[in-house]
Chains A and B, each alone.
Chain A
């Protein structure tokens, strides 16, 4: 997918200034590219706050002990405008999150991909695949 798109994009660069990543801050300074990890856990709290939302999840380790993790995501404002609410992902939902751990070394990470156990990616508002919400562009 990404490779295919990359090929498509090559033609664009000739005509278009590169589209920037609109980051409020430097995520690569906060999180470590050398510490990728995949977390599977249960949502205990979703802080829909700015500038970035935070997902709290309980992750059960191989030894059965539960560790609390905080996962950073995007600003909730646009999601809310698109129809997403704090109930869209209910507390207790199991999530699989591909992430990079904080440089600090604590149980914090940035979530580069949020997936449900059945393989559904979260928050794909564009195609209305957010479970239980209208989703989609209000103009469409």
Chain B
């Protein structure tokens, strides 16, 4: 359908990101300035009234750090100077990513709409990739079964026809069903990568701004939903391990496969508040049908500015209608031109 959307989808994970660290210094203040090493963080001990470690508030996981380590980069961490330079260049590229008269120019300007990541709170850091395991910062090799499934899915998409042929062929994000921010794992949405966490006795609620998904995580040790109950954001169950909230999610419906995983993907997230402004967020993905080994990524979630604004995506999604109407108009023009040529 276009050159831009597939790129953004494939990069959704690739650039998505964020970062974090535990073994390494957390770079606190998001900004376009050079990351600075945080002073030795005091252990965060604040509790909610019912005694849970306090994760509440407004947060963002916006970042310039890619999920996978760029080709040619062999180290885990940039120097502070390299990190600052790379983020500066990424921000410059983000602000000027179009050339008039090209497909890439057929878009509103991100800078005008405040959507460049450096215009809002984001998490700077020195990691070269969000993935910390495998140690090379790359996704593990895909198993033969995983490769076959990916090929089958691609073949099915071709069989269905162009994305402009029917609304059902459009990506789920375009149709305002779900976007990357909801996860799990929670990946940056690219813009509006904002969350609100609310804790009540026995539950943690995570509201995702893009696109207004709510995850209510019970903490009472109840079993997962039956295997035949499948959901877009899976079924999450949480528990506390010390000050770390551990959330295990299964039961995905398979219609929005994270990194082309199978329906049996299992995601384990760990949220640890390390200071007033930072949650250390790390997740491990297990799916033997897709990868030969589990893999883990680490990213910071930073304190952001509330409130969460409603993202009533479907209600204002004129784009689907306009795109389908545009495709039909082009087909009509082509048919008329063909008929005209045929009558000569």
Q: Which residues of A contact B (CB under 8 A)?
A: 1-2, 5-6, 8-9, 11-12, 14-33, 36, 47, 49-54, 72-82, 84, 100, 102-105, 108, 110-114, 121-126, 137-140
Whether the pair A15, B319 counts as a contact (CB closer than 8 A) is no
Whether the pair A24, B319 counts as a contact (CB closer than 8 A) is yes
Q: Which residues of B contact A (CB under 8 A)?
A: 1-5, 7-8, 11-12, 14-15, 29-31, 64, 66, 68, 70, 72-73, 82, 86, 89-90, 92-116, 118-121, 163-164, 170-171, 173-174, 176, 179, 189-192, 194, 209, 211, 305, 309-313, 315-320, 322-323, 325-327, 329-330
| A16 surroundings in chain B (CB, below 8 A) | 66, 70, 86, 89-90
| B315 surroundings in chain A (CB, below 8 A) | 49-50
Whether the pair A8, B120 counts as a contact (CB closer than 8 A) is no
| A76 surroundings in chain B (CB, below 8 A) | 113, 309
- With A and B bound together, what is the CA distance between A18 and B97 in angstroms? 10
Q: A-B pairs with CB below 8 Å: how many?
A: 253
| A137 surroundings in chain B (CB, below 8 A) | 31, 118-121
From B105, which residue of chain A is reached at the shortest CB distance?
Answer: A112
Could you list 29 A-B pairs, sorted by A, with CB under 8 Å? A2-B100, A9-B92, A12-B90, A12-B92, A17-B15, A17-B68, A17-B70, A19-B90, A21-B110, A22-B189, A22-B191, A28-B3, A29-B327, A33-B102, A33-B105, A47-B316, A50-B313, A52-B108, A52-B318, A73-B112, A75-B115, A76-B309, A77-B209, A102-B322, A102-B325, A103-B327, A104-B325, A124-B112, A125-B114
Whether the pair A51, B311 counts as a contact (CB closer than 8 A) is yes
| B29 surroundings in chain A (CB, below 8 A) | 139
Whether the pair B2, A28 counts as a contact (CB closer than 8 A) is yes
A72 touches which of B103, B112, B114, B319 (Cβ 8 Å): B319
Whether the pair B120, A81 counts as a contact (CB closer than 8 A) is yes
- With A and B bound together, what is the CA distance between A126 and B122 in angstroms? 14
| B90 surroundings in chain A (CB, below 8 A) | 12, 16, 19
Q: A21-B7, A54-B318 are in contact. List 19 more A-B contacts (CB 8 A).
A: A2-B96, A12-B89, A12-B92, A19-B15, A25-B323, A26-B163, A27-B4, A28-B3, A52-B316, A75-B115, A81-B305, A100-B106, A102-B325, A105-B329, A110-B108, A112-B107, A126-B111, A138-B305, A140-B31
Among B1, B31, B89, B179, the most chain A Cβ lie within 10 Å of the Cβ of B89
Whether the pair A49, B120 counts as a contact (CB closer than 8 A) is no
CB distance from B74 to the nearest CB of A (A): 12
| A140 surroundings in chain B (CB, below 8 A) | 31
- With A and B bound together, what is the CA distance between A123 and B112 in angstroms? 5
| A6 surroundings in chain B (CB, below 8 A) | 96
- With A and B bound together, what is the CA distance between A5 and B92 in angstroms? 7
CB distance from B300 to the nearest CB of A (A): 15
Whether the pair A20, B190 counts as a contact (CB closer than 8 A) is yes
From A108, which residue of chain B is reached at the shortest CB distance?
Answer: B322
Among B3, B99, B120, B174, the most chain A Cβ lie within 10 Å of the Cβ of B120
Whether the pair B119, A82 counts as a contact (CB closer than 8 A) is yes
Whether the pair B96, A1 counts as a contact (CB closer than 8 A) is yes
- With A and B bound together, what is the CA distance between A11 and B82 in angstroms? 12
| B107 surroundings in chain A (CB, below 8 A) | 21, 23, 27-28, 110, 112
| B116 surroundings in chain A (CB, below 8 A) | 126
User: Which are the 3 A-B pairs with shortest beta-carbon distances?
Assistant: A22-B190, A103-B326, A74-B113
| A15 surroundings in chain B (CB, below 8 A) | 70, 72-73, 82, 86
- With A and B bound together, what is the CA distance between A110 and B109 in angstroms? 10
| B8 surroundings in chain A (CB, below 8 A) | 20-23
CB distance from B207 to the nearest CB of A (A): 13
| B194 surroundings in chain A (CB, below 8 A) | 77
From B164, which residue of chain A is reached at the shortest CB distance?
Answer: A29
CB distance from B117 to the nearest CB of A (A): 9
CB distance from A77 to the nearest CB of B (A): 4
- With A and B bound together, what is the CA distance between A109 and B58 in angstroms? 35
- With A and B bound together, what is the CA distance between A62 and B70 in angstroms? 53
Whether the pair B311, A75 counts as a contact (CB closer than 8 A) is yes
